């Protein structure tokens, strides 16, 4: 089995390098030797039912008359995704602390946990630009996700790795020398299989975790890539925080991985993930129904952009131009939506709280200024 059911692995227990000679799996050996790859899976009636349910809900959200998720809801859900994906891997920061880190505020907490948040935010931010079938993009995303945290950031592992619990080896990953070919084969299958991408994304998630291609960050990358694949199936799913449902059901998550490994059937994990996606959509629909500020957010964001048509300005200057005096109201309801919508950008993005920070129209909106 890959992970022990009902026991969340600690940082120390998750991965441990062991001699490559001990790393093997017959299924992957055959695929590696033959040059062919086909995941072993079954699709149950329950899984098919969940696919129909998910498709219906996504279709209702994608109608021309449907209101798109507001910038505030998109940002909140992105933060929830990041917080939950990291919490599954034993990151100790709360949702409020993760939000503050992303906002550029000082947070009291382990430096590694804070860096994990910054890295994950950077990695998730590249989703629209990533090719889900590109090994180059996969390695680049891993570099963003683990930069400053691991020695082999942006690289496949160079040694054998196992997953341990209580000092006992519970999963033997394929040998390091074969990892790149396994990942290439998996990406190729995901791209070219005739299966619906919804089910392929779930199978990919399990197979990726089984290969365990990196020395660290496999769980975070597997969930990121699953979200990426789902967003290619339907763009609305980029903003559905599936990771938060996984965190709520982390025991079942690890159990599903274990059972798939024991039965050599990734369909078991796929069925679990389809149920998670279905539940996540239910929560998303409820959240969207209660989020009534979409139009107001857009109007306020445009008001901020209008202030910057002639020159770059500080936040205080924009506030004064809008006739406002309350900083928190201005930031939450005006400045942040304008940033989230991509209408404006910081002049010093690497230092959000810099005293020299100014804001400017973001291309192509600068065309309105005549720059």
Choose among 140, 154, 149: nearest CA to 117: 149
C-beta of residue 337 within 8 angstroms of C-beta of residue 300: yes
Q: 3-state DSSP call for residue 311?
A: coil
For residue 48, is pLDDT > 60? yes
Q: Tokens standing for 173?
A: 């990953």
- How far apart are the C-alpha atoms of 196 and 54, rounded to whole Å? 12
Residue 15's nearest CA partner among 234, 209, 224 is 209
Q: How confident is the model at residue 68 (pLDDT cuts 50, 70, 90)?
A: confident
User: So what's the pLDDT on residue 134?
Assistant: 98
Rounded CA-CA distance 263/3 in Å is 14
C-alpha distance from residue 114 to each of 42, 206, 355 (Å)? 40, 27, 22
Give mean pLDDT, residues 13-22: 41
- pLDDT, greater one: 234 or 15: 234
What's the angle, vertex CA 353, arms to CA 347 and CA 358, rounded to 5?
30
Question: What's the confidence (pLDDT) of residue 167?
Answer: 73
| The CATH homologous superfamily of the domain defined by 11-290 | Fido-like domain (1.10.3290.10)
Q: Name the residue ranges covered by the structural domains of the chain.
A: 11-290, 294-368
Supply the pLDDT for residue 66.
64
Tens-place pLDDT, residues 134-191: 999 999 999 999 999 999 999 999 988 776 666 776 667 889 999 999 999 999 999 9
CATH architecture of 294-368: Orthogonal Bundle (1.10)
pLDDT digit string, tens, across residues 29-40: 444 444 567 889
| Whether the predicted model's global pTM rises above the 0.85 cut | no
Cis amide linkage into residue 86, ω under 30° from 0: no
Give the strand order in the sheet containing 168-172.
16-17, 161-165, 168-172
Residue 283 has pLDDT above 70, yes or no: yes
pLDDT value for 228: 98
Mean pLDDT value across the chain: 86
The pLDDT, as a whole number, for residue 340 is 84
With a pLDDT cut of 90, the percent of the chain lying above it is: 65
Q: At residue 371, does pLDDT exceed 60?
A: no
Whether 4 has a pLDDT exceeding 70, the answer reads no
- Do the Cβ atoms of 37 and 31 come closer than 8 Å? yes
Q: What pLDDT was estimated at residue 132?
A: 98
pLDDT of 356 above 50: yes
Q: What is the pLDDT of residue 8?
A: 41
| Alpha helices, DSSP H, located in the chain | 11-14, 26-34, 45-61, 71-88, 95-102, 111-124, 135-146, 179-192, 197-211, 218-233, 242-248, 250-263, 267-290, 294-307, 315-322, 327-330, 336-340
Q: Does residue 15 register a pLDDT over 90? A: no
Query: How many residues comprise the chain?
Result: 371
Interval 88-107: pLDDT, tens: 999 999 999 999 999 999 99
Indicate the range of 28-37, 193-202, 266-275, 320-329 predicted with least confidence.
Answer: 28-37
Q: Which residue has the higher pLDDT, 369 or 78?
A: 78
Per residue in 286-333, pLDDT tens?
Answer: 887 766 556 677 888 999 999 999 999 999 999 999 999 899 999 988
Same fold yes or no, 11-290 and 294-368: no
d(CA 291, CA 74): 11
Identify the burial level of 273 via C-beta atoms within 10 angstroms of its C-beta, where 0-12 means exposed, 13-18 middle and 19 or more buried.
buried
Give Cα 224 distance to the centre of its chain.
Answer: 3
């Amino acid at each position: 089995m890959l992970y022990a059911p009902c026991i969340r692995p600690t940082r120390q227990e998750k991965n441990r390098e062991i001699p490559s000679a001990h790393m093997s799996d017959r299924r992957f050996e055959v695929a590696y030797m033959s040059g062919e790859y086909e995941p072993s899976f079954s699709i149950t009636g329950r899984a098919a039912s969940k696919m129909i349910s998910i498709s219906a809900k996504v279709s209702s959200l994608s109608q021309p008359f449907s209101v798109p998720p507001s910038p505030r809801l998109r940002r909140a859900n992105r933060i929830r995704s990041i917080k939950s994906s990291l919490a599954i891997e034993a990151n100790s920061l709360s949702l409020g602390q993760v939000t503050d880190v992303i906002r550029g505020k000082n947070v009291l907490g382990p430096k590694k946990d804070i860096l994990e948040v910054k890295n994950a935010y950077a990695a998730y931010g590249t989703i629209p630009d990533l090719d889900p079938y590109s090994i180059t993009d996969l390695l680049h995303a891993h570099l963003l996700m683990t930069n400053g945290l691991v020695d082999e950031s942006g690289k496949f592992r160079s040694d054998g790795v196992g997953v341990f619990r209580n000092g006992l080896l519970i999963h033997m990953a394929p040998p390091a020398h074969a990892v790149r070919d396994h990942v290439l084969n998996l990406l190729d299958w995901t791209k070219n299989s005739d299966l619906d991408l919804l089910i392929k994304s779930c199978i990919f998630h399990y197979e990726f975790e089984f290969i365990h291609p990196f020395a660290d960050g496999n769980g975070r990358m597997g969930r990121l890539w699953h979200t990426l694949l789902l967003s290619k199936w339907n763009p609305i799913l980029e903003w559905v925080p599936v990771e938060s449902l996984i965190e709520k059901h982390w025991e079942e998550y690890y159990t599903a991985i274990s059972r798939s490994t024991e039965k050599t059937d990734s369909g078991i994990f796929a069925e679990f993930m389809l149920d998670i996606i279905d539940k996540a959509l239910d929560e998303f629909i409820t959240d969207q129904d209660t989020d009534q500020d979409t139009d107001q957010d857009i109007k306020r964001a445009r008001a901020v952009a209008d202030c910057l048509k002639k020159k770059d300005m500080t936040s205080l200057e924009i506030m004064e131009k809008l006739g406002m005096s309350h900083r928190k109201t201005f930031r939450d309801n005006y400045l942040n939506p304008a940033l989230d919508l991509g209408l404006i950008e910081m002049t010093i993005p690497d230092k959000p709280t810099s005293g020299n920070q100014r804001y400017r129209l973001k291309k192509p909106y600068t065309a309105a200024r005549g720059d």
